[in-house]
């Protein structure tokens, strides 16, 4: 039964081993082979023997992890946790895949994490942003395994900028806005994001991530030629055909004829009316022709007013854009790209 | 005729220096009815003439010369035919949409001399034009003829001019057909005696714009 349980345990952790890099040390290789053969006592012996030899940091971390697995499999939790602690200190970013590793081993591993102070998974996202713009900046993420005062700084040459200082345990998300203390954009170049953690027992841990900062001009906003969703309306409209032209001609001719009749001097007799007749005839013919003709376009006052307001709004918007662009031209767009990663 | 040339030159000079202007040069035929003193002294005539009009913004200037040949309507009365030359000059300023205030001069001469009254007067009044269709306007004119002078002396305390204007043509103003009717009533008095004058004149013409 015990053998069956161990087999089940092992089936849950193959990726933890298969994902490792090529091992140079022969003793460590023998320990791995023993683990694959489920010979846990020999894993412990070979693992301890390998640790007494000259190993790379990665090999050493792997040997400790192997011991942690073997102690877990043989029900030695204290030893397992101790081995995992060493593995974590050697490689703080080491993780177990909870889908492939048994909950018991994961539990021991998490217990080991809680007993050491390390800054894990420090990551700075690639970002492009306008320096000093509220809410913008490069995202910084990391996890502190134990409660500690954590100071996060950006360092380049003589510049050391405090990004955040807080007491935290767990994952912390920060944003670096890329400004100096006086509000100016940071100079372009290589910067190092340094996270210093000071634990309760005065134990400390530091992690860093180097980033490259480049500076560029901020894109300006193009001026508008039209307001989106709004189009100008025709400023003239053709009125419906009507008898109005003839009516007006008739009215005017009537005024002229009546006026001439009224002003006629009785002492001189009456006029034949030939001249007013000719003029009135010309007016009436003109009115009649115009009545049959397509009316002339007339100003559409509502549309003119609408277009005027639209143009005023467009002008106002473009003035705003001009001011906005003037401000943008004074700003600097920073691009932050992580270039290397390391811990110390 | 010298005055006509001076007026024409003045209008042309003003037009040459102005911007956003319209110049209309026209010729016309005319029908007229002239009455003087009593119902027995009545003449009817025909004639021809020319006109020049200039519009610059709110301002306008018009000049027209009409040469008429009048014949007595009553051939048995012993009255003789005569010819008249009438010069009309007007300066206008648009004061409202379609409404124009006008100032100008009227001068009418006759040949042979003393066959009818020669006269001159200043004119002041308004013109109202209404667009009734594409390129077509009709209008009314009312002028007071002030300070009328006559060769036979006398004065006219009351002198009116009433007009009906028609103008039609393409909207680009390239050419226009015009009709211009004017009725004048001049209550002339000489030494307290009434010697009125009336004239009806209609001019039908064509004008070219450029």
Residue A10, chain B, CB below 8 Å: the answer is: no
Q: How many residues are there in chain A?
A: 344
ipTM value, please give it: 0.86
For B138, the closest of A267, A276, A283 (CB atoms) is A283
Q: Does some domain include residue A305?
A: yes
- Provide the domain limits for residue B34: 2-15+22-209
Q: Is the Cβ pair A259, B130 closer than 8 Å?
A: no
Question: Which phi and psi angles does A234 have, rounded to 5°?
Answer: -60, 135
Which residues face A343 on adjacent strands?
A: A207
3 state SS of A272: coil
Distance CA A333, CA B1 (A): 81
- Provide the domain limits for residue A199: 119-216+333-343
3 state SS of A290: helix
Q: Does some domain include residue A283?
A: yes
Of the three residues A83, A115, A147, the one that is the final residue of a domain is A115
For A275, the closest of B33, B36, B160 (CB atoms) is B33
Residue A199, chain B, CB below 8 Å: the answer is: no
Tell me: do A73 and A178 sit in the same domain.
Answer: no
Distance CA B121, CA A185 (A): 84
The whole-chain average pLDDT of chain A stands at 86
| Domains identified in chain A, total number | 3
Phi-psi region of A268 (alpha: psi -120 to 50; beta: other; left: phi over 0): alpha
Distance CA A90, CA A97 (A): 18
Comparing A3 with B76, the larger pLDDT belongs to: B76
The pTM is what?
A: 0.51
Confirm if A122 and A207 have CB atoms less than 8 A apart. yes
Tell me: do A190 and A339 sit in the same domain.
Answer: yes
3 state SS of A32: helix
Token duo for residue A40: 């846990």
Distance CA A334, CA A216 (A): 6
For B179, the closest of A245, A263, A283 (CB atoms) is A283
Q: What's A18's domain CATH number?
A: 1.25.40.10
pLDDT digit string, tens, across residues A266-317 = 788 877 788 999 999 999 999 999 999 887 788 899 999 999 999 999 999 9
Residue A259, chain B, CB below 8 Å: the answer is: yes
Tell me: do A21 and A111 sit in the same domain.
Answer: yes
Closest chain A residue to the Cα of B201, Cα to Cα: A275
Q: How many CB atoms within 10 Å of residue A220?
A: 14
Q: Select the residue from A282, A284, A297 to test the B interface by mutation, using most B Cβ atoms within 10 A.
A: A282
Tell me: do A76 and A136 sit in the same domain.
Answer: no
Confirm if B27 and B66 have CB atoms less than 8 A apart. no
Runs of H (alpha helix) within chain A: 2-11, 14-18, 26-36, 40-51, 57-73, 77-90, 103-115, 244-263, 274-292, 301-330
Token duo for residue A106: 């994961």
Per-residue pLDDT, A340: 60
3 state SS of B169: coil
Chain A residues with beta carbon closer than 8 angstroms to that of B36: 268
pLDDT digit string, tens, across residues A169-213 = 889 999 998 888 888 888 899 999 999 999 887 788 999 999 999
pLDDT for B141 beyond 50: yes
Q: What's B171's domain CATH number?
A: 2.40.128.100
Tell me: do A94 and A153 sit in the same domain.
Answer: no
Chain A residues with beta carbon closer than 8 angstroms to that of B179: 278-279, 282-283
Tell me: do A319 and A337 sit in the same domain.
Answer: no
Tell me: do A93 and A7 sit in the same domain.
Answer: yes
3 state SS of A80: helix
Distance CA A182, CA A193 (A): 19
C-alpha torsion angle, residues A333, A336, A337, A342 (rounded to 10) = 170
Of the three residues A61, A92, A115, the one that is the final residue of a domain is A115
Tell me: do A87 and A143 sit in the same domain.
Answer: no
Comparing A84 with A241, the larger pLDDT belongs to: A84
Distance CA B170, CA B206 (A): 12
Tell me: do A82 and A9 sit in the same domain.
Answer: yes
Q: Does some domain include residue A279?
A: yes
Q: Is the Cβ pair A271, B35 closer than 8 Å?
A: yes
Distance CA B146, CA B155 (A): 10
Confirm if B130 and A256 have CB atoms less than 8 A apart. no
Per-residue pLDDT, B56: 92
| Domains identified in chain B, total number | 1
* Alpha-carbon gap: A283 to the closest alpha carbon of chain B (Å): 6
Per-residue pLDDT, B16: 43
Q: Is the Cβ pair B32, A275 closer than 8 Å?
A: yes
* Alpha-carbon gap: A238 to the closest alpha carbon of chain B (Å): 11
* Alpha-carbon gap: B67 to the closest alpha carbon of chain A (Å): 16
pLDDT digit string, tens, across residues A145-181 = 888 999 999 999 888 999 999 998 889 999 998 888 8
Runs of H (alpha helix) within B33-175: none
Q: Does some domain include residue A227?
A: no
Q: Does some domain include residue A321?
A: yes
Element (H, E) at A234: none
Task: Compute the 3-state secondary structure of chain A and give helix, strand, coil in percent, each to the nearest 5.
Answer: 45, 25, 30
Distance CA A90, CA A118 (A): 10
Q: How confident is the model at residue B107 (pLDDT cuts 50, 70, 90)?
A: very high
Of the three residues A51, A82, A115, the one that is the final residue of a domain is A115
Tell me: do A93 and A129 sit in the same domain.
Answer: no
Tell me: do A163 and A308 sit in the same domain.
Answer: no
Q: Does some domain include residue A98?
A: yes
Long-range CB contact pairs, A288-291, < 8 A, 24+: A288/A245, A288/A246, A288/A249, A289/B133, A289/B136, A289/B168, A290/A245, A290/A246, A290/A249, A290/B132, A290/B133, A290/B134, A290/B136, A290/B168, A291/A241, A291/A242, A291/A243, A291/A244, A291/A245, A291/A246, A291/B133
Q: Select the residue from A244, A268, A287 to test the B interface by mutation, using most B Cβ atoms within 10 A.
A: A268
Q: Does some domain include residue A222?
A: no
For A265, the closest of B135, B168, B196 (CB atoms) is B196
Tell me: do A181 and A153 sit in the same domain.
Answer: yes
Element (H, E) at B19: none
For B166, the closest of A269, A286, A293 (CB atoms) is A286
Distance CA B15, CA B210 (A): 11
For B133, the closest of A253, A272, A296 (CB atoms) is A296
pLDDT digit string, tens, across residues A206-242 = 999 999 999 888 888 899 998 889 999 999 998 888 8
Token duo for residue A237: 């409209």
């Amino acid at each position: 039964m015990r053998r069956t349980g161990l087999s089940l345990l092992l089936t849950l952790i193959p990726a933890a081993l298969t994902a490792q890099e090529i091992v140079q040390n022969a003793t460590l290789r023998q320990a791995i082979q023993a683990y694959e053969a489920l010979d846990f006592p020999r894993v412990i012996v070979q693992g301890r023997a390998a640790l007494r030899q000259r190993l790379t940091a990665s090999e050493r971390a792997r040997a400790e992890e192997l011991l942690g697995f073997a102690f877990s499999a043989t029900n030695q939790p204290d030893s397992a946790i101790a081995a995992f602690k060493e593995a974590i200190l050697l490689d703080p970013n080491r993780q177990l895949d909870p889908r492939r590793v048994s909950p018991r081993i994961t539990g021991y591993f998490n217990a080991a994490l809680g007993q050491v102070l390390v800054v894990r998974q420090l990551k700075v996202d690639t970002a492009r942003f306008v320096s000093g713009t509220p809410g913008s900046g490069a995202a910084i993420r990391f996890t502190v395994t134990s409660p500690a005062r954590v100071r996060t700084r950006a360092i380049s040459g003589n510049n050391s900028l405090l990004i955040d200082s807080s007491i935290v345990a767990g994952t912390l998300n920060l944003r670096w806005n890329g400004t100096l203390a006086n509000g100016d954009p940071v100079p372009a170049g290589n910067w190092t994001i340094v996270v210093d953690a000071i634990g309760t027992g005065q134990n400390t841990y530091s992690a860093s991530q180097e980033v490259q900062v480049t500076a560029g001009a901020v894109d300006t906003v193009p001026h508008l030629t039209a307001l989106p969703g709004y189009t100008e309306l025709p400023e003239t409209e053709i009125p419906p055909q009507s008898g109005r032209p003839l009516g007006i001609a008739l009215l005017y001719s009537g005024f002229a004829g009546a006026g001439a009749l009224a002003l006629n001097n009785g002492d001189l007799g009456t006029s034949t009316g030939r001249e007013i007749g000719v003029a009135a005839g010309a007016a009436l013919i003109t009115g009649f022709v115009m009545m049959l003709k397509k009316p002339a376009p007339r100003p559409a006052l509502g549309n003119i007013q609408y277009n005027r307001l639209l143009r005023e709004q467009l002008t106002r918007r473009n003035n705003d854009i001009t001011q906005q662009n003037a401000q943008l031209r004074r700003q600097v767009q920073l691009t932050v790209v992580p270039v290397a990663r390391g811990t110390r | 005729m010298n005055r006509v040339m001076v007026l024409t030159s003045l209008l042309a000079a003003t037009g040459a220096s102005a911007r956003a202007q319209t110049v209309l040069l026209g010729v016309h035929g005319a029908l007229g009815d002239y009455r003087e003193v009593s119902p027995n002294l009545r003449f009817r005539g025909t004639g021809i003439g020319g006109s020049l009009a200039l519009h610059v913004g709110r301002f306008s200037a018009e000049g027209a010369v009409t040469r008429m040949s009048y014949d007595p309507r009553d051939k048995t009365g012993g009255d003789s035919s005569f010819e008249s030359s009438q010069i009309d000059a007007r300066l206008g300023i648009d004061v409202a949409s379609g409404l124009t205030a006008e100032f100008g001069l009227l001068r009418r001469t006759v040949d042979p001399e003393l066959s009818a009254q020669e006269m001159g007067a200043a004119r002041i009044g308004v013109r109202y034009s209404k667009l009734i269709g594409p390129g077509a306007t009709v209008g009314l004119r009312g002028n007071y003829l002030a300070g009328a002078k006559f060769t036979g002396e006398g004065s006219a305390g009351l002198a009116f001019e009433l007009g009906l204007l028609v103008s039609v043509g393409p909207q680009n103003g390239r050419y226009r057909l015009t009709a211009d009717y004017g009725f004048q009533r001049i209550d002339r008095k000489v030494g307290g005696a009434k010697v009125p004058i009336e004239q009806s004149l209609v001019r039908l013409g064509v004008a070219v714009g450029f």
